[in-house]
Amino acid sequence: MPAATLSRDEVIERILAAFRRYGYEGSSLSRLSEATGLGRSSLYHYFPNGKEDMGSAAMAAVGTWFTQNVLCTLDGRDAPALRLQRFASKLTEYYANGFTPCLMDVFTIGEAGSLFQQHLGGRMRALMSLLAAVAEEAGVDKVEAAIRAENAVVSIQGSLIVSRAIGNNGPFLRMIENLPGNLVSVQTN
């Protein structure tokens, strides 16, 4: 598809793919131009503040998609375990079975970390809060639910990194399989 016919959303999608592949710092304007098929001046037309605007646009696109397709699975009247299974299934889809890196991961390193840390921290806290609320609905104590939610986010991110590092998505898939139970199982002493 010629670059001139790309919508802004398609440009952002291609920029997002470049950020996921090369990281923020590794996504030079040359690489971003190549990924989108747009010249530098056209990129600056879409994104006047350059790469920082591109990063913000990529995060906004991911945030919108993630909210509409993944986080929405945590709402509803179904049993918490069922909602968490749907959540885990959507995570599997979003991360392509553990082979696609999380934008939050690649945006916490180097220059991007200082530019986007506050925004990313807010997203992580919001996700942990949603997961903790579902665990509480399942009867898990409030403090324990918060700990489990934090551990779940650590497991998601960690399993993505480990899977990528070893070239095997087994760690991610095992984490996905265990995620609902780890969040909502009520343990007796």
Q: Quick: pLDDT tens for 40-90.
A: 999 998 999 999 999 999 999 999 999 999 999 999 899 999 999 999 999
Residue in this structure with the two tokens 């990529």, named with its chain if needed: 58
d(CA 55, CA 112): 8
Q: Look at the alpha carbons of 85, 91, 92, 98 in this order and tell me if their dihedral is positive or negative.
A: negative
Is pTM, for the whole model, over 0.85? yes
Please answer whether residues 19 and 58 qualify as being in contact, where contact means their C-beta atoms are separated by less than 8 angstroms. Answer: yes
Confidence of residue 178 (pLDDT cuts 50, 70, 90): very high
d(CA 152, CA 131): 8
Tell me what the mean pLDDT of segment 151-179 comes to: 95
Indicate whether 34 pLDDT > 70: yes
